[in-house]
Amino acid sequence: MIAAGDAVLVLNAGSSSIKFELFEARDGAPVARFGGQVEGIGAAPHFVAQDAAGRRLADRRWDGAAAPADHRAALGVIIEWLDGVLAGRRVAAVGHRVVHGGPDLAAPVLVDDTVMNALQALSPLAPLHQPHNLAGIAAATERFPGVPQVACFDTAFHRAHAWEADTFALPPEFYDRGIRRYGFHGLSYEYIARTLAAEEPALAAGRIVVAHLGNGASLCAIHGGRSVDSTMGFTALDGVPMGTRCGQIDPGVLLHLIGTEGMDVAAVQRLLYGNAGLKGMSGIGQDVRDLEASVDPRAAGALSHFAWRVRREVGALAAALGGIDALVFTAGIGENAAGLRARICEGLGFLGIVLDPALNAANAPEISGPGAATRVLVRPTDEEGMIARHVLALLQRSENA
């Protein structure tokens, strides 16, 4: 049973980092208290933590053998620090972001052995994320025996898509075997949809394209708070280019790389997931700030391609919605890269999208130009907060069952 003042810990384990946020249950809702991350796991680990107001409370680096070498050790660092700030508060549940839930796991679930086995079977579909998500669950289960572990899925928000949106043009048996378009970043899109519904119900009831642009990037068409279509498909490789991932690519290229270039599947996977996207195109890296500051023409080309592809997908998703009432930018690039936002919106005047340059440069919450038919918004996302809400709701339902 969740009591007032109990803590809910949320973990978001990536390929080389663990983000965490600690929430306090208050009147059935989560209130953020502390957060941070261990980044650079396996290379140069760096632990930072701050309170809900953003005040830095911890900042630690390691040298040599003392550094946490894996996710289990990194979680130990986080828990040791949290022990000092919990002040006797009980950790009543741990929520986890899990990238892929497959065709069957379409809502947050309590994790048991059956769920873990099902999620492990999906690891080849999200090799950069799923194994580390599951490592976080295993480490938290060991550290908090008997405490409910709740998995929340990036694919769940998209499970109501029409068949036409999710199928590939393959014989039906492939769809039945789970080879279909799933969509990702669902926790982010769900948070944006809920926030807009609370702020502006009339707008939220309309046709919205949300651009979640970060190291991982995708776009989602939302109508009445429900996902209609997404740029990502069977895996998190699809759609627009990303920091190190290629985005949409002609399947014939893959056949050529394997059949003619002599690359094996592992080499192709390394290329598409780790050495493509902004990093591969620029030869510099995936940080947009570095690329914008560079005089290397490859960096400029990578940014131009990124903006072009995002712009094209805005138009495609507007078509899927039958029109567009608002475009929302979120995540690291979407919230902060004013120059890229401007380049993406160039040429979208036919959709009623016109930016106010001064508002855009200021990263204002609304950056539409005066009289623009389609509103353009900038909103922070909060996947951890969305997970905490799901954890409390699931445990409440379990208690009332």
d(CA 241, CA 276): 8
Contact 384, 12 (CB under 8 A): yes
d(CA 166, CA 172): 12
What the block records as the tokens of 269 is 């996977």
The residue written with tokens 């050495």 in the block is: 275
d(CA 326, CA 202): 11
What the block records as the tokens of 274 is 């780790």
3-state secondary structure of 399: helix
DSSP 369: P
Residue 315 parent element (H or E): helix 297-321
> What spatial distance separates the first Cα and last Cα of the chain, rounded to whole Å?
12
Annotated catalytic residue: which of 27, 104, 154, 229?
A: 154
**Long-range CB pairs of 194-199, under 8 A, 24+ apart, other chains included:** 194/225, 194/386, 195/379, 196/328, 196/379, 197/225
What the block records as the tokens of 275 is 């050495």
Share in percent of the chain as helix, strand, coil (round to 5)? 45, 20, 35
d(CA 357, CA 213): 20
Put residue 358 in one of left, alpha, beta given phi > 0 → left and psi -120 to 50 → alpha: alpha
The question of whether 238 is a catalytic residue gets the answer: no
Q: Which amino acid is at 27?
A: D
d(CA 183, CA 159): 8
Residues annotated as catalytic (active site), given as ranges: 154
